[in-house]
Amino acid sequence: MNDLIAKTSNGHKISSAGAALAILCFFLPWILASCGGQTTSLNGWQLSAGSTTGSGYFAQQVPGKAILFLVLLIAFAVIAIAYLAWRRGHLTQTDGFGPIGLGGLALLILLITFSGAKAQAAQQGIYFEYQYGLWGVVIGYIGTIIGGVLNLREKS
């Protein structure tokens, strides 16, 4: 274990931790929606695959957004880049630009998916609030970008 830590660059330590945080927070609550006295909390998996909220007469189908699965897969790709760098024993350009590009892509997907969502929900009479799971994913991907920048600085 000490060998693993010693051979891993500081950038990969940060980017891998950020990606692990994003994976963990993907399964924590992302949004809290309240309508007609019913309150529902949805996590990243439920938003990606689709879900049913409420019960009985108040049951509503929440359509899935498959693009959000890419947010989860990107975190695994960042961890794979760190693992390959550890196996290789030295840093390459991919070790810097990979986490930066992947983290930026994940943040762009989240921005596009959730921009205007609160206003759209308000038009339909739904109270909508972002939860800690979504913020944890955002912070995790900011960490992957910082890790990629550190790798670029360490390589040069």
Residue 42 phi, psi (nearest 5): -120, 140
Residue-range definition of the domain harbouring residue 123: 2-155
d(CA 82, CA 78): 6
d(CA 29, CA 8): 32
Q: Which residue has the tokens 């921009």?
A: 115
Distance of CA 87 to the CA centre of its chain: 25
DSSP conformation letters of 132-148: HHHHHHHHHHHHHHHHH
Q: How many structural domains comprise the chain?
A: 1
Q: Which of 33, 148, 36 is nearest to 101 (CA)?
A: 148
Q: Model pTM?
A: 0.85
pLDDT at position 96 is 86
What is the CATH classification number for the domain harbouring 33? Answer: 1.20.140.150
Q: Where does the pLDDT of residue 88 fall: very low under 50, low under 70, confident under 90, or very high at 90 and above?
A: confident
DSSP conformation letters of 19-75: HHHHHHHHTSEEEEEEETTEEEEEEHHHHHH-EEES-GGG-EEE---THHHHHHHHH
Convert the pLDDT of each residue in 5-63 to its tens digit: 556 678 888 999 999 999 999 999 998 877 767 778 888 998 888 877 665 666 667 77
The enclosing H or E element of 127 equals strand 127-130
